[in-house]
């Protein structure tokens, strides 16, 4: 027992009890503090579950500051990654760490960061970032994000900022967002809030707006609430669906793609209430994590499953669903529609869907989805796919697959590809491309600076990438580009 790591930390406890105690300690505390007690503890707790620091969870302030305020801590991060650092840190709710992250990011925070923070529900973080962005106009999207997360206290604060938010257009984005997040009570509260405050007019437009929002809330409830909740609101607001186009089809589709365990019961109940069987159901089901089971269930009930479902599954990364749907995918006809004729009648463009699915897979870094599309006979536009893969945070595995599948001559290891890779800020991808003979161009400098990655600029300088032909000396260009890459931020303002 004396050789067990716990004997150094908890000598009075049995080893198995010490291990259980560690299981209850916050994982970030284990990674940043507990492992440092002694070498034996660090050696025992060396797995990724004990060494990974999760920025979206509280991190001890001293540890966070010592890491992110160290010189060069963010030189290898792109602007997008530095902003992600701010968003993730804000999600932890530790305002002190948020201020450090904003300082480390060294850039002006854009509005979408405020939207991300509103979605986390941490009001103090919202207030600090709002002070930073007083130039922002009206926080419509932030209200919808807070509503979608079920954060009533943040919604109340946002609504108090500006009476110009008190419109039915804002209600139409926020109340349904709460419903889609599974927060029925909040969606109703928002409806009542707007109904009490939106100025009444002489015509019937207010009544139409309220009816429309109620219909959209029902769609959200069908997707993310259980059957009992849907039934309760259906009895009150079913007439509101008349204000929406193809409402009953959309309602059934929302239920078929619902993440709730009783999705099938909702579909059956909506059928009994007069919602017609439609392809919307298959489209929504194809994006679910258990898509094959849902699609099989729908098919057995007589639902039509058109070719678009295959591409919905592709964009969701559902390989099993793609395999199941592949027989219905068909071939591309002369007019770009599905050879069966059905898709063209619904203004469905098979070639366009193929292109969108392939670009989506490249952006996600899913070479397995690209392989499935290729195996299904889809036409892959190599130029657009490689550019998207290179630009999207440097999806090296996708480019490696393309190179292996098509070869360097057909793929084209050209200057546009290298410039796109520079725009991702991925030094690893840039090195990989140059090792394989990819051509480069002076445009790569501006692309790397636009990505906001100082490390990528340094790599280009060290490797001798051609400079812009404007007569400016290399050190001067590098200094200007590095300043552009950093973004010229000022961090958060001092707390009042």
Look up the pTM and report it. 0.83
Same domain, 371 and 431: no
Same domain, 368 and 415: no
Residue 12 has pLDDT above 90, yes or no: no
Residue 146: predicted pLDDT: 98
Nearest to 485 by CA among 441, 455, 440: 455
For the ranges 45-59, 120-134, 227-241, the one whose mean pLDDT is highest? 227-241
Residue 395: predicted pLDDT: 84
Residue 344 has pLDDT above 50, yes or no: no
Q: Is residue 313 in a domain?
A: yes
Same domain, 365 and 419: no
Average pLDDT of the residues in 195-217: 78
172's tokens: 């139409």
Residue 433: partners with Cβ closer than 8 Å, 6 or more residues away: 399, 413, 417, 418, 421
Same domain, 367 and 456: no
Q: Higher confidence at residue 398 or residue 475? A: 398
Percent of the chain with pLDDT over 90: 61
Residue 164 has pLDDT above 90, yes or no: no
Residue 488 has pLDDT above 80, yes or no: no
The angle that helices 184-197 and 152-161 make with each other, rounded to 10 degrees, is 20
Cα 387 to Cα 365, 394, 399, 418, 453: the distances in Å are 12, 10, 9, 9, 19
Same domain, 376 and 432: no
- Mean pLDDT over all residues of the chain? 85
Same domain, 286 and 376: yes
Q: Beta-carbon neighbour count of residue 377 at 10 Å? A: 12
Residue 429 has pLDDT above 80, yes or no: yes
Residue 109 has pLDDT above 70, yes or no: yes
CA dihedral sign, ordered 463, 468, 469, 471: negative
Q: Would you list the DSSP string of 323-356?
A: HHHHHHH--B-TTSSBTTSHHHHTT--HHHHHHH
Residue 353: predicted pLDDT: 93
Residue 201: predicted pLDDT: 56
**pLDDT band with cut points at 50, 70 and 90 for residue 336:** very low
- Asked if residue 248 lies in contact with residue 274, where contact means CB atoms within 8 angstroms, the answer is yes
Same domain, 296 and 358: yes
Q: Is residue 94 in a domain?
A: no
Cα distance between residue 6 and residue 45, in whole Å: 11
Q: Is residue 458 in a domain?
A: yes
Residue 136: predicted pLDDT: 78
Q: Is residue 150 in a domain?
A: no
Same domain, 352 and 421: no
φ, ψ (nearest 5 deg) of residue 300: -65, -25
Domain that holds residue 417: 411-496
Cα distance between residue 452 and residue 423, in whole Å: 9
Residue 341: predicted pLDDT: 37
Q: Is residue 189 in a domain?
A: no
Same domain, 373 and 460: no
Same domain, 367 and 415: no
Of the listed ranges 117-126, 372-381, 390-399, the one predicted with least confidence: 390-399
Nearest to 148 by CA among 201, 187, 203, 99: 187
Q: Would you list the DSSP string of 359-380?
A: HHHHHHT-HHHHHHHHHTT---
How does pLDDT run across 17-37, given as a tens digit for each residue?
666 666 656 666 666 665 555
Percent of the chain with pLDDT over 70: 77
Q: Is residue 243 in a domain?
A: no
**pLDDT band with cut points at 50, 70 and 90 for residue 209:** confident
The tally of domains found in the chain comes to: 3
Residue 19: predicted pLDDT: 62
């Amino acid at each position: 027992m004396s050789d067990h790591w716990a004997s150094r930390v908890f000598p009075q406890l049995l080893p198995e009890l010490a291990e259980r105690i560690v299981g209850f300690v916050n994982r970030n505390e284990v990674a940043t503090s507990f492992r440092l007690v002694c070498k034996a503890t660090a050696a025992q707790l060396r797995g990724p579950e004990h060494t990974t620091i999760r920025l979206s969870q509280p991190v001890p302030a001293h540890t966070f500051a010592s890491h992110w305020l160290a010189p060069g801590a963010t030189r290898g991060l792109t602007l997008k990654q530095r902003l992600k650092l701010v968003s993730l840190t804000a999600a932890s709710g530790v305002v002190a760490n948020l201020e450090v992250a904003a300082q480390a990011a060294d850039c002006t925070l854009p509005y979408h960061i405020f939207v991300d923070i509103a979605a986390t529900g941490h009001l103090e973080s919202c207030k600090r970032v709002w002070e930073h962005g007083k130039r922002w106009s009206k926080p419509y999207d932030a209200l919808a994000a807070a509503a979608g997360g079920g954060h009533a206290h943040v919604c109340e604060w946002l609504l108090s900022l500006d009476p110009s938010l008190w419109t039915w257009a804002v209600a139409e984005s926020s109340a349904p967002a709460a419903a889609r997040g599974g927060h029925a009570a909040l969606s109703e509260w928002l409806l009542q809030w707007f109904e009490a405050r939106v100025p009444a007019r002489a015509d019937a437009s207010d009544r139409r707006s309220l009816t429309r929002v109620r219909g959209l809330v029902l769609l959200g409830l069908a997707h993310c609430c259980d059957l009992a909740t849907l039934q309760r609101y259906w009895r009150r607001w079913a007439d509101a669906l008349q204000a929406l186009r193809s409402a009953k089809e959309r309602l059934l589709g929302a239920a078929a793609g619902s993440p709730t365990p009783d999705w099938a019961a909702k579909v059956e109940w909506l059928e009994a209430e007069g919602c017609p069987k439609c392809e919307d159901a298959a489209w929504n089901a194809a994006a679910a994590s258990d898509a094959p089971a849902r699609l099989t269930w729908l098919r057995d009930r007589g639902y039509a499953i058109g070719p678009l479902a295959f591409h919905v599954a592709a964009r969701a990364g559902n390989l099993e669903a793609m395999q199941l749907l592949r027989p219905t995918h068909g071939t591309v006809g002369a007019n770009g529609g599905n050879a069966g004729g059905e898709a063209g009648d619904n203004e469905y463009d098979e070639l366009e869907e193929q292109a969108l699915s392939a670009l989506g897979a490249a952006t996600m870094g899913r070479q397995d989805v690209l392989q499935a599309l290729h195996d299904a006979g889809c036409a892959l536009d190599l130029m657009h796919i490689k550019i998207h893969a290179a630009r999207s945070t440097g999806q090296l595995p996708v480019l490696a697959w393309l190179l292996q599948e098509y070869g360097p001559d057909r793929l084209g290891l050209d200057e546009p590809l290298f410039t796109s890779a520079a725009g991702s800020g991925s030094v690893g991808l840039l090195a990989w491309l140059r090792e394989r003979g990819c051509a480069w161009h002076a445009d790569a400098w501006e692309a790397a600076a636009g990505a906001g990655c100082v490390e990528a600029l340094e790599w280009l300088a060290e490797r001798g990438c051609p400079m812009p032909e404007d007569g400016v000396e290399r050190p001067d260009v590098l200094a200007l580009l590095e300043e552009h890459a950093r973004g010229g931020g000022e961090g958060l303002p001092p707390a009042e």
